[in-house]
Every structure is written in C-alpha cells, then in structure tokens.
Chain A
Amino acid sequence: MKKTIEGQAYVLGNDIDTDQIIPAEHLVYSLTDPEEKKNYGKFALSGVPQESAGLPDGNHAFVDDGKFESQYTILIGGKNFGCGSSREHAPACLKIAGIQAVVAESFARIFYRNSVDGGFFIPFEFQTRVVDEINTGDTILIDVEAETLTNKTSGKSYKLKSLGEVIDIIEAGNIFEYARKTGLIPR
C-alpha cells in the first residue's frame, strides 16, 4: 500500500451511478485481455452528462479522444458515489484509466465493496462535504497513513474518515490475499 498518493483531481457531483461510470453497451470487453481491456479506460466516465463532467465548470473530458488513460488520477465525488449496478467494470474502468484513489462524501455499498475486495484503489470518505471546495485540475495529496487530504492548489487540508475494518483487506491487497493471510484459503 502506497503511503501517499498525489495527482490531479477530477471532480464529480452526487449520485454518480455506474451507468455514468461505464455505460452498459461497453460491458462486453474482456477485463483480462491486455489490449481489449484498454477500452474500459477509453470509455471510463463516458456516461457523465457534459455539464457535470469535471466540476465546477463541466465539459472537461476525463479521457481525451483517442486516449486510454486520463491525465487525472484522483476522483473527487459527492454523496452516494457508485450507486446502481454491481458491475465490477465500474471500479475496474477507473483503475484502467489510471485512477489511484476515489474520495467521496459517501459511497454506494456494492461499489465500495468491489473497490476494496478487488483491490482497485482505496475508497476514502470525507468527514464533511468537501466536493464543492475542489476544482477539476487541482493538485491533491493524500497521506494514506495520516488519513488526510491536502489540496495543494488551494492550500486547504481535510481529515478523511478512518478506513475502519476494511484496512486489513486494503493492506493485504484484495480479498484473496487477505484470506490467504488469515488462513481462510491456502497459499
């Protein structure tokens, strides 16, 4: 597990559902074939309406045309991030696009669980509503151990919610490594 994560923020609003994260028509690609799975990066967040794509202004492409990775590596969200479908393609496509952390006011249950158990990235929660204080393109530094987020562009720092009991799975890497570590499945 990385001690710090630094990158450019891409900011989204409340109730970002999995159809916005990865529209269903794209769920046909292999998640394992190295070439085919790049499509998930290409289409990550392609369902977000233009006006809310990259707040506060909107109209910021998450992944530029013809590219498979985003220049943004930290997603900032409002309430209920990842609501909707159980499709693991949602956290997977964000990771394939280069996302290293999602920090939201709150998460929908299955998306949160998939992020942790699949080991895609750490889903952090703010202690208060912060999404309105970060602009797309701001430079963000997350101190994983101290559980803080600093917006280097504005100079403001925020305490994040403790990861609680899922920290053991996050530290192990994913649910399988956690189960091996604790003896539930053989190494």
Chain B
Amino acid sequence: MGMTVTEKILAAHAGKESVAPGDNIWVDVDVLMTHDVCGPGTIAIFKEQFGQNAKVWDREKVVIIPDHFIFTSDKHANRNIDILRDFVKEQDLPYYYDVGTDNYKGVCHIALAQEGHNRPGEVLFGTDSHTCTSGAFGMFSTGIGNTDAAFILGTGKIWVKVPETMRFEFTGTLPPYIMAKDILLQVIGDIGVDGATYRTMEWAGDAVYKLSMEERMTLCNMAIEAGGKNAVIEADDVTLEYVKQRTDKPYTIHHSDADAKYYFKKTYNADEMVPMVAKPHSPDNKAAVTECTDVKLDRSYIGSCTGGKLTDFVAAAKLLKGKKVVIDTFIVPATREVEEDLYKTQMDGESLADIFKNSGALMGEPSCAACLGGPKDTFGRANSNEVVISTTNRNFPGRMGSRQSQVYLSSPYTAAASALTGRITDPREFLNN
C-alpha cells in the first residue's frame, strides 16, 4: 500500500519503513517553535520536569519568536518577554528574534518561513495552532500545548497519532480576483469546523501548484479552522526556489504515492471559485460576497499570518491606490520583512506604504496585533460593537476583542474593496474597472 506525503514524513522520523493512519508513533523533532504567550509556560514545565539546570535537547533546533503581545504597556505581557530572554541567554539559543532589536521579526509562522526554518520533509512543532502554516513547504507541522513542547525541549521526541488524509484538488485556473483565502473559506464552509478533525488536509492540483509560497501558506494556515492536524502541499520548484534563498540546510522531498489511501478526496474546478466570506461567529459560516453586500461595516483589518503577507498587501494596494477608505482601515504587516517590502515595492511609481497612507488607512507594527484581540491597548482591537471585515483566521465570539463585535473573514481583495464602500463589497466591482 502506498503512503501519503504526511505518512512518509512521519515514517521517516519514526525510523519506520511505513506507517498507517491510527498508528501511535514517537517521532524525532526537527524544529520546536514557541512564542511569548506559550513560551513562559513551556519553560516552567521544562524546568519542573527536567531540572533547573537542564539543557534543551538541541539548541540548534529551538526557535523562539515573540509576536503576540509586543507593543503593549501590559506589565505581565512584557514580563513574559523577559522570561524568554533569560531562557535564551541561559541556554545560549541561536534562533531568538528579540523584541526591541533589529532582530525582531513578527508573526512566527511567517518569520519561520522567511528565516529559513521551514524545510521540505522536516517535522516542526509549535505552541500555536496555526503552526500548520508551514505545511506549505511539504513538511509535517502542527500546533501543540506547553506540556508537549516542554517534553520536546527535554527529549527531542513526541508521540503522534498518524492522521488520515483528506485530499483537496483544484483543477483549472483561479480567476484573477480569487485568492487562497477564498478557496479556504469555501472548503471550510463545505466540510465544517470539525470536518478535518485529527486529519491531514492535503492541497493539490494545477491551480494550487500555480500559487506563490505566500498564497500556499495562507491555504495551509487555516487547516486548524476545520479541526485539521496538519496541512500539506508537496514541495515543487516554487518551494525550492523560496527555500534556497533562505537556508543552506538539507531537505528531503516526499511525494504522495499514486496508490496512497485517502479518507476523502474532492476535486474543485478553480475557474468556478467566487469571492467568499465567513460570517460571524464561525469560520465555516460561509457565504458568497454577493450574498452579503447589504452588510454595513465599521472597520476593515488587513493583517496576521493569514492575511498580512506581501502578496496580501499587493492585492489590497491594487484596490486602494488613488482612492480613499470610508471606514477605519488597519494595515498590519506580519513581519518586519513584509513591512520593509511595503516601502520597497512600487505600484506605478508609488510605494505600497504610500498607497495605504494616502488612502487614509492606518499602519501598525508587525505582530499578531488584533487578530486575537489581546491587551486593551492593542492596535486595531475591537473594543465595542464594531462590525469588522478582516483577513485574519478566526471570527469566534470576542476573538478580535469585544464580545459585542462581529467579524466577517475575507480575502485581502474583499477587505480592501469593502474599505472603499463601507459595506461588504465584491472586489470585481473595482478590479474590472
């Protein structure tokens, strides 16, 4: 029996010829990532279990990326950064991207990619549910809690139940006004918020392989919103082109076998995709944008690991260029690199940053910011009954702050089009002009 790409990666890391869904195996971990919200708890458990003077299993394999509560006056949040800093110093960890220094990056999932920590064939665990983003690189990656992370810190191993795989294939060509986010919202809406629980979401098909790495990351980012354990896209030339610019470390490319067994397979015609939203308060509460054009908005938010990459801002800038937003519009680059690119990237002689500023949008510093609400002084946080359209990943009650707010999830195209009208707006109204 053949294996899927996920099964092959897990087998290789368990020292086994083959594995099958349902097997409980111990795998060797290539990278453990943590951040400011879960790092301090992880460190405390690590010390409690392995001793105050214990050393991490491999200092080259630990990556610490503070990104959640960064630009805040909250004293506990700032204390948590100090805990990370002390641990990094004590353990002499080479991969720490400290707040307030030139080495600060921003949102961990995008920083992992940009700093060369995502490599095909590897196994990466992170104390953040959107760690599934890294699956875009043809690797196994998933989110874990503090206890599992502390276990890995001490041993370099963790147990995994091999997931069944669901394959989503997109044939044909995506229309120019469709982004990876629209595909995701369609698929999550189709299978539901627990439609992929314990399973792998494998993305495939010509339309997927035509996507850039950033768009592939978006596609893998929200597997968790369907309950998925991981997402994966087989590595190809697009992957290698990106990886080679970021790291010299070796990697292994795995392909799913033709006779691999899938729990579920579905083929979509990419040409038929339409701009989608997820209505409050669940990522699977799908609707076509055209069904929601009477929804009045107070705010548009473009940012996060899901919707705050350069590709996302190029899309937004296409619509906002030379125009004025009519509602509060927040631009939050995922990382410093994305932020720098907003100044470097020109569109008809104007930088993306200038396009946003001239449109009346507000620009924030790279971090998770209001995607998950955060401390009260977080940039873009919903503090009242705002109706928000957002390129982020979750619209649970109170996710962006206030329990009274309502969040619609959309692509950057749709969020930008909506910023120009103050109601949910189909990007085709502007892109076709």
Contact = CB atoms under 8 A, between A and B. Distances in A.
B426 to A, nearest CB: 28
Interface string B184-227: 00000000011001100000000000000000000000001001
A69 interface: no
16 contacts: A15-B193, A15-B194, A27-B68, A27-B69, A30-B40, A47-B398, A80-B197, A86-B145, A88-B38, A88-B146, A108-B197, A110-B224, A117-B147, A175-B148, A176-B49, A185-B154
Contacts of A17: 394, 396, 399
B76 A28 contact: yes
B425 interface: no
B147 A174 contact: yes
A88 B41 CA distance: 9
Nearest to A176: B49
A41 B387 CA distance: 30
B41 A89 contact: yes
Given A19-B397, A84-B396, A87-B37, A109 B197 contact: yes
Contacts of B427: none
The 7 residue pairs across chains A and B that have the minimum distance between CB atoms: A88-B145, A28-B76, A114-B145, A86-B143, A118-B147, A80-B194, A88-B146
Given A15-B193, A117-B151, A28 B80 contact: yes
A113 B396 contact: no
Interface in A5-35: 15, 17, 19-20, 23-25, 27-32
Interface in A125-164: none
B129 interface: yes
A118 B76 contact: no
Size category of the binding interface on chain B: 35 or more
Nearest to B144: A86
Nearest to A24: B372
Contacts of A88: 38, 41, 127, 145-147
B200 to A, nearest CB: 12
Most-contacted residue by chain B among A15, A47, A79, A109 (CB, 10 A): A109
Interface string A31-50: 11000100000000001110
A120 B297 CA distance: 41
B282 interface: yes
Given A47-B398, A106-B197, A117-B148, 14 more contacts: A15-B194, A19-B373, A19-B398, A20-B397, A28-B76, A30-B76, A83-B227, A88-B127, A106-B194, A113-B145, A113-B148, A176-B147, A176-B151, A184-B157
A85 B375 contact: no
B365 interface: no
B198 A109 contact: yes
Nearest to B147: A118
Q: Find the residue from A24, A36, A176 having the highest chain B CB count within 10 A.
A: A24
Contact of B129 (A23, A27, A84): A84
Interface residues of A, number: 42
A36 B75 CA distance: 13
Contacts of B396: 17, 19-20, 84
B374 A25 contact: yes
B24 A165 contact: yes
Nearest to B196: A109
A20 B41 contact: no
A7 B77 CA distance: 35
A54 to B, nearest CB: 15
A167 interface: no
Nearest to B146: A88
B339 to A, nearest CB: 23
B44 interface: yes
A31 B128 contact: no
Nearest to A107: B197
B77 to A, nearest CB: 5
Contacts of B85: none
B155 A113 contact: no
A86 B142 CA distance: 10
Given A110-B129, A110-B143, A25 B373 contact: yes
B74 interface: yes
Contacts of A36: 76
